[in-house]
Amino acid sequence: MIRALLPGTVVGVDAFGDAPEGVLLPAEEAVVAGVAAGRRREFATVRLCARRALHELGGGPGPGTAAGAPGGVALLPDGDGVPGWPDGVVGSMTHTRGYRAAAVARTADVARLGIDAEPDRPLRDGVLETIASPAELGGPAARGGGGGVCWDRLLFCAKEAAYKAWFPHARVRLGFRDVEVSFDGPADAGGRFTARVRHGAGERLGGRWGAGGGLLVAVVSVPAGADI
């Protein structure tokens, strides 16, 4: 699902079920020591997706190689929760119920990358008003949108993808209203959007979204050297 939304310079791998136990490196095991089994499985599966994407990109062991084999890449979150990537690689991960995905690219090709997945169901009552700007409240998310998807949840998903692309570089935490999203128009299964970061120079990040199987997926990919 993720591949259809990504440019050719980005490799994406996803999974609709969890990987078996034992796919984590020791350093990764330490991160999730003592957490609930379900959280551990999603942590492991999304990293297996990432390692497979790195292999396809040319920066990791073969897709069938055990994580603990020589050349396995430990993908550890830093103090801000941002996953660490091999030198020369930019990446992003996401997980929601029944879906895990990772995307990676070379920094020579892509400067910023963020992905997010959410269930295609409405936000809880009152949540839209806390995440949306006045302009967004007058847009399709507030009106119910049309196009067969839950536009309020899609707004949330697009903001998350934009934040994941922006934060690793800026290291400044934003609220949901600090990222304002405009969609190119309702669509049944996908489309484009622009996310404006209402901080500093007011960067504009272009993204794409897709829907299917009860899921919404949004990606933001900024080419290296792009004027944003």
Domain ranges of the chain: 3-108, 114-223
pLDDT at position 64, please? Answer: 44
Tens digit of pLDDT for each residue in 57-113? 995 554 444 443 434 779 999 999 999 999 999 999 999 999 999 999 999 999 999
Tens digit of pLDDT for each residue in 95-104? 999 999 999 9
pLDDT at position 138, please? Answer: 85
pTM of the model: 0.91
pLDDT at position 60, please? Answer: 52
CATH 3.90.470 fits 114-223, yes or no: yes
pLDDT at position 66, please? Answer: 44
The partner residues of 95 in beta bridges, in order of sequence, read: 100
CATH 3.40.50.20 fits 3-108, yes or no: no
Give the E-state strand segments of the chain in sequence order: 10-15, 89-96, 99-106, 110-119, 179-183, 190-197, 204-212, 215-223
Same fold, 3-108 and 114-223: yes
pLDDT at position 10, please? Answer: 98
Is the Cβ–Cβ distance between 104 and 57 less than 8 Å? yes
- Mark the ranges of the chain whose per-residue pLDDT is less than 50: 62-71
DSSP 188: S
Which contacts (CB < 8 Å, 24+ apart) does range 39-48 have? 42/18, 42/95, 42/100, 44/18, 44/19, 45/15, 45/17, 45/18, 45/19, 45/95, 45/100, 46/93, 46/94, 46/95, 46/100, 46/101, 46/102, 47/23, 47/75, 47/93, 47/102, 48/15, 48/19, 48/23
pLDDT at position 145, please? Answer: 56
